Chain A
Amino acid sequence: GENVEQHPSTLSVQEGDSAVIKCTYSDSASNYFPWYKQELGKGPQLIIDIRSNVGEKKDQRIAVTLNKTAKHFSLHITETQPEDSAVYFCAASSGDNNDMRFGAGTRLTVKP
């Protein structure tokens, strides 16, 4: 089955700096790659996703890149703000949501 690895496990940046989180996956059939943000005491919330027919997607300060050949994808957050502090999860899926596999998470801290 699919195996998703995520790093770093913790990331601390200064407000205004950029943050990058990287994930690798094992199943070449995976074609959907969402990123979720989980704040303390809440469930994960989708912030951006990318499908295998696209190499990059951007939404304001957030961007995701996908390298299918290398089987890795990354989340980029620019101009970080304290409210970006949370745990971020990457995930991969090859079909319906019944095979969605999550990474172990990255705890991002943005220092004011």
Chain B
Amino acid sequence: ETGVTQSPTHLIKTRGQQVTLRCSSQSGHNTVSWYQQALGQGPQFIFQYYREEENGRGNFPPRFSGLQFPNYSSELNVNALELDDSALYLCASSLTSGVRGELFFGEGSRLTVL
């Protein structure tokens, strides 16, 4: 148990729709990162939020956006869904102060785009 929870666990959308995925970070962690994991691949960094501000972004288009709230929860929003957006979306919380490094992952939200 990492203390990081994600919802929903599975969902199906159609091309062009919008989706919101949610994450509840481990208590006390002020940083949340989102990753996309395609089948058979390693996680790909989407973006990170630190104290409710975006703090780094990977090679993903602007239709991928996020929010982080003061209560350790966060959201990943994807607009204009494409078939290639089908993947497991992972959030990971971490502490940026003190010892840097360990990411605590949730179990992911599996998105299927038809």
16 A-B residue pairs with Cβ-Cβ distance under 8 Å, sorted by A, are A32-B100, A43-B105, A44-B103, A91-B42, A96-B100, A97-B48, A97-B94, A97-B101, A98-B45, A98-B55, A99-B45, A100-B103, A102-B42, A102-B44, A104-B42, A105-B41
Give residues in B with beta carbon < 8 Å to A: 2, 4, 31, 33, 35, 40-45, 47-48, 55-56, 90, 92, 94, 96, 100-103, 105-108
* A89 beta carbon closer than 8 Å to chain B: yes
Q: In whole Å, how far is A31's beta carbon from the nearest beta carbon of chain B?
A: 10
Contacting residues, chain A, for B100 (C-beta < 8 A): 32, 96-97
Given contacts A34-B101, A104-B42, contact A96 B108 (CB under 8 A): no
Contacting residues, chain B, for A103 (C-beta < 8 A): 42
Given contacts A32-B100, A43-B108, contact A97 B43 (CB under 8 A): no
Contacting residues, chain A, for B2 (C-beta < 8 A): 43, 45
- Nearest chain-B residue to A107 (Cβ)? B40
Question: Are B45 and A101 closer than 8 Å at their CB atoms?
Answer: yes
Question: Are A43 and B106 closer than 8 Å at their CB atoms?
Answer: yes
Chain A contact residues (Cβ within 8 angstroms of B): what range? 20 to 34
Give residues in A with beta carbon < 8 Å to B: 4, 6, 32, 34, 36, 41-46, 49, 89, 91, 93, 96-105
The 8 Å CB contact of A100, one of B40, B45, B108, is: B45
